[in-house]
Amino acid sequence: MTYEEVGLTAEEFTHICDQMGRVPNDLELGLFGVLWSEHCSYKSSKNLLAWLPHDGPAVVQGPGENAGVVQLDDKVHVAFKVESHNHPSYVEPVQGAATGVGGILRDIVAMGARPVALADSLRFGTDDPSQHLQHAVVEGVGAYGNAIGIPTVTGEVGYGAVYDKNPLVNVMAVGLLPAQRKISARGARPGSYLLLVGQPTGRDGIHGASLLASQDFGEGTEHMRPTVQVGDPFMGKLLMEATLAAVETGLLDAVQDLGAAGLTSAIAELVYRSQVGAQVWLDDVPCREPHMTPYEIMLSETQERMLLIVAPHHLEAIEAIMNHWELPHRVIGEVTEEPLLVIGTRDNPRQAVLPPEILAGACPLKPVPANGRDKGRQLVPSMPAFKPLTLEREWGLNVLGAPECKSRAPIYQRYDSMILTNTVWGPDHPLAVLRVKDSTAGLAIAVRGPGRYAALDPYSGGMAAVARVISLLATQGAQPLGLTDGINAGNPDREDVFQDLMALLAGIADASQALGVPVTGGNVSLHNETSGHPIWPTAVIGAVGRHSCPLEPVPDAPMAAGMDILWVGPEDLGLGGSIFESLYSPRLTPYPRANLTQLAEVLAWVTSLARTAPGIALRTIEEGGLFVAMSRAFIKAPEKLGITVKADDPVVEWLFSEAVGQFLIFSTPESTARLLEESPKSVTVRVIGQTTLDGALQFRAHKTLHYSREELERTFAQGYRG
């Protein structure tokens, strides 16, 4: 076996030999191949991720564990994380998406938290095969989440030709745990046992991390199907319940789920973090298939497996729990004081002997220029702004009916969003609101991944992703507790892709810092390109917030006639990166950059407004701009209600700009004067219309655009067919 066959470079192989003082054997080389892959090592992104703020008053656990943890209140903590399963979902979309759900749920369980919610952020191409791919991916997400009994409560989907052969499947999971519970993947102690529980190990998923998720695609993918794991949600349910029952006893030293690179990653990272070693007995690993080699056993990515570290005197009690749940389990080794990972059989006990600090901690990282963050902030070359001189009625219908803006009901209706009976607001709203049964507070959950905004200016795209989710929390008066990031980009060995990656992370870092919300962990997926064509750098950001009145969410549509409609937003809008521009402009222009100082002020004000102003409704302006936001509010309003808006100049830009920091407020006339008086001086707030009883949506500019409820409902549901 050569180093090229396991995905290592000549420089990396030389580094390994120098560090070890010898040439690794084939088994050892395979272990280095997976753990030094892009997917496992983050070798191209780790130095960039260091820019992100990780500390905050609510942070209990930041990056470095299976998931981030934040404090909801004195009794309840929240574990949450976003993960991607992009490459497997292209090769085998149903299983790829399903096992992505299973994997992120195990990350939450490994923190001792009970999963309570899922959210997904999906990106697909625009060609015919992508439609079939979307159907299969949604089937996979729904099949696993529904079967294991965890609701999918919110999400989003976007489209672009750059995703034709590179779909993005990012899934966020959220779990709850008692505040006093402490479990981690760094508590292994010498003398304790390695207890492998769950599915017997098979040949599925071998090289899933190194061959599949760390390489670019060519034209053919059939040969890669065996590298896609196969999920079993019913075994996943047993594993979740048994693991949580074991954690609740307080008898475990550590917990680590088996995901990418299987036993190799789980054991190596656990002993490295714990500064110990381990002896692994391969002949004790339960195998589903006969004659599996040591290489296959260590690199298998069979799903629904967990590694528990148990002291000998607690083993019987933990095994009793596994037996109760009829869950296969076996001791496969023990923790040693000497910091060496030793792998073998009783007949040949030292088939691999590796220092964990080399295997899991010495992969060379891609250097970042000293001015890398400043370089990421650099403005892209200016381009002439797109400024249409006319206003046509069908433009609004075309934008509302575009794939990015029309109803997501065909997707979320395939998910169970109400199981566990905690969901107050589900996927038919811009964000989710959940009650928490052991707390007076609730949870607000949002996820966004606006890749199109990063197409020409990745810095703006990173900023916008953060701003979007915090804006959504603000409309509910929810206090942001933390963020999780899913970074998706092309081949980082290409200089242009790495420059975009730097800019994207700089935007995320600056926005999260300016808005005061830490990033507690996440995922990086690179090599998302086919035949040299990369995706747009796409930052998927998930957020959780503390909601003080979860059983009474702030409405997102007007409730009665006679309400004032207020628009909140920056002075500089622009059509860059908008759906309107993609439909009507001969070229794309950069997404407008936000003034982060002003944005922080308006978000604080909107958050306060949501908590204290009686009788208001709030909605963010996102894809499709004000026209789509107003149309959705109109569709959700009582049937006889109408909306009349006086459009501002420049009217097209005002109607269709997707710049962050824009909100709609529906207010009683009694409250409007106070809202205008208390609004931040740096932000524009103006009354733009009223709700009526004429049952229509009207925009009055130099001509009046009139839309009936039936027309807008049909367009939103089916797309515009004019």
Residues annotated as part of the active site: 39, 85
Q: Pick from 130, 89, 46, 701: which is nearest to 395 by CA?
A: 701
Q: Pick from 117, 109, 143: which is nearest to 242 by CA?
A: 109
Given a contact cutoff of 8 angstroms between Cβ atoms, the answer to whether 501 and 44 are in contact is yes
Given a contact cutoff of 8 angstroms between Cβ atoms, the answer to whether 486 and 449 are in contact is yes
Residue type, 440: T
Given a contact cutoff of 8 angstroms between Cβ atoms, the answer to whether 68 and 172 are in contact is no
Q: What is the 3-state secondary structure (H, E, C) of 460-523?
A: HHHHHHHHHHHHHHHCCCCEEEEEEEEEECCCCCCHHHHHHHHHHHHHHHHHHHHCCCCEEEEE
Sheet holding 538-547, edge to edge: 423-425, 432-435, 442-448, 538-547, 479-488, 519-525
280 alpha carbon, distance to own chain's centre: 34
Q: Is the dihedral of CA 177, 178, 183, 185 positive or negative?
A: positive
∠ Cα 149 153 156 (to 5°): 130
∠ Cα 45 51 53 (to 5°): 125
Pairing of strands 152-159, 114-124: parallel
Q: Pick from 540, 533, 537: which is nearest to 216 by CA?
A: 533
Given a contact cutoff of 8 angstroms between Cβ atoms, the answer to whether 35 and 359 are in contact is yes
- Three-class DSSP category at 112: coil
Residues with Cβ < 8 Å from 365, sequence gap 6 or more?
Answer: 43, 44, 46, 47
